[in-house]
Amino acid sequence: MVGCNRCAAIPLLLVAAMLLFQGWGSCFFFSQQVAQTTLEVRGSHLSALPLVQPGRVCTESWYRSSELEDTFHGNPDALTADWTSSCETLERFDSNHTWIERIQNNSYRDSDYKIFSTLCRAGFPAQVIEPLAGVLRDPRFNCSRGGGAYLGVKEYLILADSADFPPQPGTKRIFFDAGGTRFGDQLMWFATAYEKRGLPLDEIYVWEVKNISDEQYWQNVPQQLYNRFHPVLTRYNAVGISDAVGDRNNPMTLVYEKCRPQDFCVFKLDVDTSWLENAVAGQLVNDPGNLKEFFFEHHVQTLQLAQWWGPPGTHSGLTIRHSYDLFARMRQKGVRAHSWI
C-alpha cells in the first residue's frame, strides 16, 4: 500500500481527476487508489502486449489488477448482492469462457489486462494470477447451466509454476497446511499440481484439530503418491493452530523460521474458525516473510454463500469487501493470494 506521504508525488491533474471521479475522502482509501493508478500508468503503454514479458525480473513488489477485478473491487458488496448483478457483470467480460479456457489451454500469459491480473515480487519474474471477481469462486458458479456444480471446482485458480519461481541453488519448496483432515481431501491435489508445474514439494507440514489415525489420513491415496509424499510430510495430529505470535503451532512461526528468500513456500489456511483464521491472516498481511503463495477461504457475510457459511451476523459483520481488500493487500506485497473453496 502506498502511504499518504506519497500522495503529493502524484501530478496535481491526476490527483484532481481522481478526487473528482472517485470521490475518495480519506487518505487511506485515496492512497489505495493512488497505488492502483500508479500501476496502471506504469503498464498502460503495454496494454496491447502480453501480460508477462519473457525474461522480465521485478525490482520491486507491486500488483496490477485487471479491468474485471477493478470493476468488482470498486463496489463488491453491491455487485455481489444477488446472482443477477454478479453474473451479468462477469458475463460482460465473457468470464465464463475466456477465463477458464485460457487457463485450460495455458494461454493466460498471452492475454491482455481485461481478465487476468499481474503481480511482481522483487527478484522474481512478473507473474499472472486469476482476478478477484464475483463471489471469489469459479466464474461459472451459479452463472451457467448446472452452475451449482462449480461450487468446489478449482479450475479458476492459477497456481505458480517454475516459470514464476525458477529454481535457485539450494531452493526448497515447502507447503504449510492448516486444516488437513486427510491427504486425499485437498493436499493430494496441491501436491500433484505443483509437481506437474515444476515445483515438487520437499517438505509438508499439516495441522488438524481432529484425531485422525495415520491409516485414515492416507486412506485411498495411491501407493505411488504415498511413497512420494509420506517421507516429506509432518503431521501435527489432534493439534489446532494458534494465533499467538511465536507459538510453535502458529503456521506463520514456521513460515518465518523455515522459508528463505530463494524458497518457494505455500500456506493453505482453512480451519473453519473465522476469528482464528482472521487473526493468522492478519499476521500474514502485516509481515508475509518469504511466503510466496497463499490459499484462504475467507468466511464473510454474503447472501450468496449463506447456506454454507451461515446467515447475516455470523462473521462479525465482515463482508465480501473485506475479502477483496485482504487478498489485494497481500498481492500488493508480492504474495500470490487466492480465494480458496
Tens digits of residue pLDDT in 218-254: 999 999 999 999 999 999 999 999 999 999 999 999 9
Joined grid coordinates for residue 278: 482472521
* Mean pLDDT, residues 78-103 taken together: 90
Query: Looking up cell 455481489, which residue turns up?
Result: 80
Are the beta carbons of 291 and 298 closer than 8 angstroms?
no
For the ranges 53-62, 125-134, 182-191, 243-252, the lowest mean pLDDT is seen at 53-62
| pLDDT for 255 beyond 90 | yes
Q: Long-range contact list for 331-334, CB < 8 A, 24+ apart?
A: 331/63, 331/117, 331/119, 331/129, 332/1, 332/35, 332/61, 332/62, 332/63, 332/119, 333/61, 333/285, 333/288, 334/58, 334/61, 334/62, 334/63, 334/119, 334/120, 334/121, 334/122, 334/124, 334/288
| pLDDT-above-90 percentage for the chain | 64
For residues 10 and 26, give the distance between their C-alpha atoms in angstroms, rounded to a whole number.
16
**Residue with the larger pLDDT of the pair 117 and 150:** 117
| pLDDT for 158 beyond 80 | yes
Are the beta carbons of 37 and 57 closer than 8 angstroms?
no
* Mean pLDDT, residues 94-122 taken together: 90
pLDDT band at 280 (very low <50, low <70, confident <90, very high): very high
pLDDT band at 309 (very low <50, low <70, confident <90, very high): low
For the ranges 186-190, 293-297, 301-305, the lowest mean pLDDT is seen at 301-305
Are the beta carbons of 206 and 234 closer than 8 angstroms?
yes
Q: What is the mean pLDDT of the chain?
A: 83
Q: 95-104 and 83-92 helices cross at what angle (nearest 10)? A: 60
Are the beta carbons of 145 and 88 closer than 8 angstroms?
no
Q: Which domains does the chain have, with CATH numbers?
A: 1-42 (no CATH), 47-165+318-328 (no CATH), 173-291 (3.40.50)
Strand 117-120, strand 62-64: pairing = antiparallel
Closest CA to 114 of 165, 68, 80, 163: 68
SS3 122: coil
Joined grid coordinates for residue 133: 471477481
* Mean pLDDT, residues 118-143 taken together: 92
CA distances from 222 to 69, 229, 260 (A): 39, 11, 32
pLDDT band at 147 (very low <50, low <70, confident <90, very high): low
**Residue with the larger pLDDT of the pair 46 and 83:** 83
